């Protein structure tokens, strides 16, 4: 715990009144968002820049953060900017030591205006969020009472459409693959894929390019007619932040696309496809966030260790006939995959592109390509 005699104190205040003392880290000021935790041990830059974290104050459970610095190549946001509302760490490394580093984590957060806090008992915080559930929080150097008040006045994540904040305003083409990170030779473009961008990670786009896809990325507000006018061979429904039930415009678009072209949904895309088919979603107590999430493939019995980042889930009891559950989370039995074979559509709740994380599920991109080829 920080020495109370020091003047450089900051506070993380939860909406339930719980306080965590620490030191200012990154940009100075006040920030508000939903406090969540991720069990990812590597890839903090990927966490910072994942658009699915928009509006959230992210706690890293790994104790030391910042030792490898930050670089432009590892951003998971097309813009290159961080997506999180705030950042919570135990030990902020005072040094940066990596041949790929271009700047320190602290300088990066300052440059982008991301308010953080260090020297926090993140183990205690994680246990609290696990037991009491994710909730709104505020970080700053204001009085603890003022920060608690800010957290309590913040809008609830339920019913919140955050996709509009991270989706592009106009279509664009994407041509970059994973480069030196790709262990296989990239294929020449064979299929045209339209990506409905609800906050896509760049590594999803890179993996599709390496799999032989030419990409056109369109806003989440695009209509089914807009998408089909581009004459795609397949359609990718991307990840993204917020409550899927609040993104009704994308659900209506997907209703007009299902059965027209092969569809592949990832994370939020899985939830939106399920909603389009008539299922319902609900908010998880503290969500699944990390690169060590166990998933069972119900078709093969195979167990995959996956990267995940979601706070909402598909209600398996509401999945309609014609759609089948294909994957479940081994920790709590929640929905991790869906298939509508008759309509050439499937989806997964986890991230097959990883970044960071294991590559157990990378075969999903090949499955999508085979579906388009067929």
Over residues 328-371, the pLDDT tens digits come to 999 999 999 999 999 999 999 999 999 999 999 999 999 999 99
Residue 101 domain flag = yes
Residue 4 domain flag = no
Residue 203's pLDDT band (boundaries 50, 70, 90)? very high
Residue 1 scores a pLDDT above 60 = no
DSSP string, 183-203: SSPPPPP-EEEEEEESS--HH
42 and 142 within one domain? yes
143 and 19 within one domain? yes
CATH number of the domain where residue 174 is located: 3.40.50.880
170 and 118 within one domain? no
Average pLDDT, the chain: 95
Residue 6 scores a pLDDT above 50 = no
Residues present in the chain in total: 374
Active site residue: 191, 267, 310, 336, which one? 267
What's residue 185's pLDDT?
Answer: 72
What CA–CA distances, in Å, run from 279 to 209, 295, 315, 322?
Answer: 31, 21, 7, 12
DSSP lists the bridge partners of residue 265 as 237, 347
229 and 175 within one domain? yes
**Which residue pairs from 283-286 have beta carbons closer than 8 angstroms and sit at least 24 positions apart in sequence?**
283/157, 283/158, 283/243, 283/311, 283/312, 283/313, 284/310, 284/311, 284/312, 284/313, 284/334, 285/133, 285/134, 286/36, 286/37, 286/129, 286/130, 286/133, 286/134, 286/311
User: What average pLDDT score do residues 189-205 get?
Assistant: 97
186 and 148 within one domain? no
Looking up tokens 């759609």 gives 323
d(CA 2, CA 11): 10
What CA–CA distances, in Å, run from 23 to 12, 87, 142?
Answer: 10, 12, 12
Helices (H), 113-223: 122-132, 144-153, 163-166, 202-210
Domain stops at, among 103, 132, 153: 153
Structure token pair of residue 151: 């957290």
192 and 149 within one domain? no
Residue 7's pLDDT band (boundaries 50, 70, 90)? low
DSSP lists the bridge partners of residue 288 as 310
Q: What is residue 265's three-state secondary structure?
A: strand
d(CA 90, CA 12): 12
Residue 1 domain flag = no
When divided into structural domains, the chain yields a total of 2
Residue 181's pLDDT band (boundaries 50, 70, 90)? confident
Annotation says 198 is catalytic: no
Domain that holds residue 108: 10-153
Of all residues in the chain, what percent carry a pLDDT higher than 70? 98
User: What average pLDDT score do residues 46-51 get?
Assistant: 98
Residue 4's pLDDT band (boundaries 50, 70, 90)? very low
Looking up tokens 């429904």 gives 237
311 and 190 within one domain? yes
The pLDDT tens digits of the residues spanning 280-311 come to 999 999 999 999 999 999 999 999 999 999 99
Annotation says 327 is catalytic: no
**Which residue pairs from 229-232 have beta carbons closer than 8 angstroms and sit at least 24 positions apart in sequence?**
230/171, 230/192, 230/194, 231/192, 232/192, 232/193, 232/194, 232/261
d(CA 368, CA 207): 11
Structure token pair of residue 121: 């008992």
Kindly report the pTM of this predicted structure.
Answer: 0.95
Annotation says 267 is catalytic: yes
């Amino acid at each position: 715990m920080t020495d109370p005699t020091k003047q450089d104190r900051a506070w993380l205040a939860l909406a339930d009144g719980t306080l965590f003392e620490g030191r200012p880290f990154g940009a100075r000021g006040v920030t508000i968002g939903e406090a969540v935790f991720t069990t990812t041990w590597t890839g903090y830059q990927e966490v910072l820049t994942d658009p699915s974290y928009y509006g959230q104050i992210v706690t890293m459970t790994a104790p030391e953060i910042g030792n490898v610095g930050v670089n432009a190549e590892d951003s998971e946001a097309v813009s290159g900017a961080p997506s999180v509302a705030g950042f919570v760490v135990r030990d902020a490394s005072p040094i940066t030591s990596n041949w790929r580093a271009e700047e320190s984590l602290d300088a990066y957060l300052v440059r982008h205006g991301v308010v953080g806090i260090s020297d926090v008992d993140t183990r205690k915080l994680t246990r609290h969020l696990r037991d009491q559930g994710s909730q709104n929080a505020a970080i700053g150097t204001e009085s603890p009472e003022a920060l608690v008040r800010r957290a309590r006045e913040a809008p609830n994540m339920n019913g919140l459409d955050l996709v509009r904040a991270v989706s592009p305003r106009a279509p664009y083409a994407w041509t970059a693959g994973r480069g030196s990170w790709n262990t296989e030779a990239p294929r020449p473009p064979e299929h045209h894929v339209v990506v409905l961008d609800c906050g896509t990670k760049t590594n999803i786009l890179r993996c599709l390019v390496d799999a032989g896809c030419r990409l056109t990325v369109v806003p989440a507000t695009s209509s089914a007619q807009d998408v089909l006018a581009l004459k795609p061979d397949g359609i990718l429904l991307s990840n993204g932040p917020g409550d899927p039930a609040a993104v009704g415009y994308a659900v209506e678009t997907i209703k007009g696309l299902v059965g027209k072209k092969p569809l592949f949904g990832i994370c939020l895309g899985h939830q939106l496809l399920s909603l389009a088919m008539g299922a319902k979603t609900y908010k998880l107590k503290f969500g699944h966030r990390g690169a060590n999430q166990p998933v069972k493939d119900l078709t093969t019995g195979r167990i995959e260790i996956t990267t995940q980042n979601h706070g909402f889930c598909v209600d398996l009891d509401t999945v309609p006939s014609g759609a089948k559950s294909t994957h479940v989370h081994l920790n709590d039995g929640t929905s991790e995959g869906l298939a509508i074979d008759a309509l050439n559509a499937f989806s997964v709740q986890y991230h097959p592109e990883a970044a960071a994380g294991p590559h157990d599920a990378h075969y999903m991109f090949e499955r999508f390509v085979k579906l388009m080829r067929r």
